[in-house]
Structure 1
Amino acid sequence: MRKTNILPWTDKWAKSYELEANKLKQIFRDEIIEIFHIGSTSIPTIGYAKPIIDILIVVKEIDKVDFYNEKMRLEGYEPKGEYGIEGRRYFPKSNNEHTQHRTHHVHIFQVGHGAIKGHLNFKEYLLLHPKRAKAYGDLKIALAKQFPDNHYDYQEGKQEFVEELVKEARDWAKKIK
């Protein structure tokens, strides 16, 4: 069973994103349209996160991503294909193949995929609504204390709240855009 590892937010995560984004830009070069730091490590007002950097890459053609699997392996990423989300390519990275401690998750979508807007709206909403972000961080801490040795139950425990935040972000984005 994977442990639940939640840490206080740090600006080191932004630096880690920048370093990794530069490597990924070199791998995918002309395929990349945009690249973003997403997830809790990109939102200081949440206050806490798993120390895993989530990276969203928008590409011209999703099928071409598969040609880069070997280059991604050389950088420590494991190609997982769609991994449950149609039209996505997913690559987790671990710092050591023996411990399987994940450090990065790369999510790649073709331009126009609905998940792109969803991820970016979620991030922007929480950046602009710090009370909601803090509530999410508080929930993460409470669940990590409740389920320190059961990451699955931790994830399950926050699912309803995350779905609520996603809906709020979607409704907010419709109003302002």
Structure 2
Amino acid sequence: MRRVEVTPYNEQWASMYAAEAEKLRRIFGRQLVAIHHIGSTSVTGLDAKPIIDIMPVVQNISLVDEYNQSMRDIGYDPRGENGIPGRRYFQKGGDNRRHHVHVFQVGSPHIERYLAFRDYLRAHRNEAREYGDLKRKLAREFLCDIDSYIQGKESLVGEIEQRALKWYRDLLN
């Protein structure tokens, strides 16, 4: 059974991302356009489930399945789109996951969504704190129920995402 664990921000998360990103750069090679640390572990000071989310951006998503064995070789379980069309998703660590990889093709709208959310929380500390508080509360309430934990965050995540996308697009214009 997977336990829901939310921990205080860990300074090592950035170096854990960097080490894993280097492995992914070697695997995806020329296919790789960019690679980003996303999710709560990418926001300094934000409490999070201690899982490093990584978003490689590739030239052609249809070629990513060719890398499944290389990903298995470094401990990842290929999960296909896993609920998000146009994504290739990999997880590492089974029930004790520590890394998730979300691969998108350059131009995917999901890239902007993830980057806007991350950058918005980095720039808006009070909202990041509110989000962290909610995650801690839900983790205590749903210690062994990841689905209810995720469902409990949906409303606030949706609100933050809307503000984040507007803020992010305003910054880019």
TM-score range, shorter-chain basis?
over 0.9
CA–CA separation in structure 2 for the residues paired with 1:45 and 1:52: 15
Question: Structure 1: which 5+ residue stretches go unaligned?
Answer: none
Partner of 1:78: 77
Report if the CA contact (8 A) 1:4-1:147 is conserved.
yes
Partner of 1:57: 56
CA–CA separation in structure 2 for the residues paired with 1:84 and 1:145: 27
Partner of 1:27: 27
Question: Structure 2: which 5+ residue stretches go unaligned?
Answer: none
CA–CA separation in structure 2 for the residues paired with 1:172 and 1:45: 21
TM-score calculated relative to the size of structure 2: 0.96
CA–CA separation in structure 2 for the residues paired with 1:59 and 1:174: 22
Q: CA deviation at 1:2?
A: 2.2
Report if the CA contact (8 A) 1:125-1:172 is conserved.
yes
Partner of 1:108: 103
> 1:101-152: CA deviations, max 9, x gaps?
1110000000000000110011111100000000000111111111112121
Aligned residues with identical type, % of pairs: 46
Amino acid in structure 2 at the alignment position of 1:21: A
Partner of 1:39: 39
Partner of 1:175: 170
Report if the CA contact (8 A) 2:61-2:103 is conserved.
yes
Question: For 1:4-15, what aligned pairs fall within 5 Å after superposition?
Answer: 4-15=4-15
CA–CA separation in structure 1 for the residues paired with 2:86 and 2:155: 24
Amino acid in structure 1 at the alignment position of 2:90: F
CA–CA separation in structure 2 for the residues paired with 1:45 and 1:136: 11
Partner of 2:155: 160
Amino acid in structure 1 at the alignment position of 2:171: I
Q: Does 1:137 align with 2:132?
A: yes
> 1:133-172: CA deviations, max 9, x gaps?
0000011111111111212111111111111110110121
CA–CA separation in structure 2 for the residues paired with 1:92 and 1:80: 8
> 1:75-111: CA deviations, max 9, x gaps?
11011111111111000111xx5xx211100000000
TM-score calculated relative to the size of structure 1: 0.94
Report if the CA contact (8 A) 1:9-1:41 is conserved.
yes
CA–CA separation in structure 2 for the residues paired with 1:157 and 1:40: 16
**Cα RMSD between the aligned structures?**
1.0
Partner of 1:93: 92
Amino acid in structure 1 at the alignment position of 2:132: G
Report if the CA contact (8 A) 1:143-1:157 is conserved.
yes
Report if the CA contact (8 A) 2:2-2:96 is conserved.
no
Instruction: Report the 3-state secondary structure (helix = DSSP H, G, I; strand = E; otherwise coil) of the residue aligned with 2:76.
Output: coil
